[in-house]
């Protein structure tokens, strides 16, 4: 079946190339196809993208960049970023850390693994944070910790709700104990926002693990998760090494968490704006503009 599909794509590709010069070899560009890491089915990229990068068969919600997430989530032109120029230093003198950061910045156009700011979603004002797994697997170091803390402090001060799209490989090893302390720092800011009566919605996206799961990602008043995403504390490999057994496929998925009682609901990204604005409305946050648009 898979072979057939590849052949189909190849044929289609070749057909498209017929009229063009014969110079280039008929190779299938990688970005023409999407192979779902959950159900292993293969699709045309355009179909996958039309569905906002969700799998047509199993509805796995694939990883998005922070930019892509912003585009499909907030009202057009409503996003005002916070702390855009904050960059990591090298607290434990980890070899080549600066070089690694620089390379990541060049590749992703990001300064670090989280984008924070203020926005409206269908007219409702909110502070938003989006983690981007393209940047060092969105591990949490000083910059992620500080930006998230400041976002919560801003929201507390301005009586705004906070929505975080989490994704992370965990604490950033290269920053040693400083990265562990970011778990306490962020959780402290979440707690103060909560004690002041603020609403915090967590949206768990692929993958949310380690120190982020063990801090702010698990502290939402309402915790949503995208379908089929990986969420857990310990890595699969670590657990497998501990128990010396293969783990079931659905272990640490959003659905596993729902069943275990740790998420409020599975939320489809294609109706995420509606889901979020509904929740904001039900918490008596007021719309600030009736003329919101979504691009």
Partner 1 sequence: MSNMTATQHLEIIREKNRPTVNDYIPAIFNHFTEFHGDRHYGDDAAIMAGIATLNSTPVTVIAQVKGRNLEENKKSNFSMPHPEGYRKALRLAYQAEKFHRPVICFVDTPGAFCGVEAEKRGQGEAIAKNIAEFMTLKTPVISVVLGEGGSGGALALAVCDELAMLEHALYSVISPRGFASILWKDPSREKEAADLMKITADDLYNFGVCDKIIPEPVGGAHTDPAQTADNISEYLISAVERLSKLDIPTLLDNRYKKFRKIGVFSE
Q: Residues in the site for partner 1, rule: CB under 8 A?
A: 83, 85-95, 142-143, 145-146, 149, 171, 173, 175-185, 187-192, 194-195, 210-211, 213-219, 232-235, 238-239, 242-243, 247, 251-252, 256, 260-262
* CB closer to partner 1 out of 183 and 276: 183
For residue 42, the cross-strand partners are 35
Smallest distance from partner 1 to CB 153, Å: 9
Closest listed residue to residue 262, CA positions, set 211, 179, 204: 204
Smallest distance from partner 1 to CB 158, Å: 19
Exposure pattern of 16-52 as b/e (b: 16+ CB <10 Å)? eeeeeeeeeeeeeeeeebbebebeebbbbeeebeebb
Which residues fall within 8 angstroms of residue 223, CB to CB, at 6 or more apart? 201, 202, 204, 217, 262, 263, 264
DSSP label at residue 231:
B
Smallest distance from partner 1 to CB 165, Å: 17
* CB closer to partner 1 out of 236 and 287: 236
Smallest distance from partner 1 to CB 129, Å: 16
Smallest distance from partner 1 to CB 251, Å: 7
* CB closer to partner 1 out of 75 and 175: 175
* CB closer to partner 1 out of 32 and 92: 92
* CB closer to partner 1 out of 41 and 194: 194
Cβ–Cβ under 8 Å, residues 137 and 179: no
Smallest distance from partner 1 to CB 65, Å: 22
* CB closer to partner 1 out of 245 and 291: 245
Cβ–Cβ under 8 Å, residues 114 and 86: no
What gap in Å lies between CA 173 and CA 211, rounded to an integer? 11
What gap in Å lies between CA 233 and CA 208, rounded to an integer? 8
């Amino acid at each position: 079946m898979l072979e057939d599909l590849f052949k189909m794509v190849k044929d289609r590709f070749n057909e498209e190339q017929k009229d063009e010069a014969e110079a280039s070899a008929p190779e299938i560009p990688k970005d023409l196809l999407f192979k779902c890491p959950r159900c292993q089915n293969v699709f045309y990229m355009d179909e996958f993208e039309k569905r906002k990068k969700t799998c047509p068969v199993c509805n796995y919600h694939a990883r998005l960049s922070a930019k892509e997430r912003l585009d499909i989530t907030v009202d057009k032109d409503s996003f005002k970023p916070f702390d855009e120029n904050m960059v990591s230093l090298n607290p434990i003198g980890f070899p080549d850390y600066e070089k690694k950061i620089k390379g990541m910045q060049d590749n992703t156009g990001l300064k670090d693994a989280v984008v924070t700011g203020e926005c409206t979603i269908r007219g409702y004002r909110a502070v938003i944070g989006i983690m981007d797994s393209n940047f060092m697997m969105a591990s949490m170091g000083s910059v992620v910790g500080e930006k998230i803390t400041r976002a919560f402090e801003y929201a507390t001060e301005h009586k705004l709700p906070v929505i975080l799209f989490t994704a992370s490989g965990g604490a950033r090893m290269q920053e040693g104990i400083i990265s562990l302390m970011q778990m306490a720092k962020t959780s402290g800011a979440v707690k103060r926002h909560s004690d002041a009566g603020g609403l915090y919605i967590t949206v768990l996206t692929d993958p949310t693990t380690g120190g982020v799961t063990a801090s702010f990602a698990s502290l939402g008043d309402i915790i949503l998760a995208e379908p089929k995403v990986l969420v857990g504390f310990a890595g699969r490999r670590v657990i497998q090494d501990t128990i010396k057994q293969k783990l079931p496929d659905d272990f640490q998925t959003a659905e596993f968490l729902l069943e275990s009682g740790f998420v409020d609901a599975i939320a489809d990204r294609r109706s995420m704006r509606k889901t979020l604005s509904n929740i904001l409305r039900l918490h008596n946050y007021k719309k600030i503009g009736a003329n919101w648009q979504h691009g």
